[in-house]
Amino acid sequence: MQNTYTAIVKKDGNWWIGWIAELPGVNCQERTKKELLETLKITLTEAIEFNRQDAINAAIKDFSEEVLAL
């Protein structure tokens, strides 16, 4: 299953800035749009994994992981 996310991007002076609409806190800036999109992908992947680990750590023990398809 592949998830899709929406990158909101714009040029601001000499920089490209962008956010992931579905996940607050995932934002980046780069000199080119191509670099920005790649950095957003990396940052999004890291944020999802961090949130996943945080949720597992909060559960401590005796939990299951269930896949939800939207």
The answer to whether 26 touches 50, Cβ cutoff 8 Å, is no
- C-alpha dihedral sign at 1, 57, 46, 20: positive
In the block, which residue shows the tokens 């991007």?
9
Domain ranges of the chain: 7-59
pLDDT in tens, the chain (70 residues): 578 999 999 999 999 999 999 999 999 999 999 999 999 999 999 999 999 999 999 999 999 999 988 8
DSSP codes of every residue in 10-59: EEETTEEEEEETTSTT-EEEESSHHHHHHHHHHHHHHHHHHHHHHHHHHH
Q: What is the pLDDT of residue 69?
A: 83
pTM equals 0.87
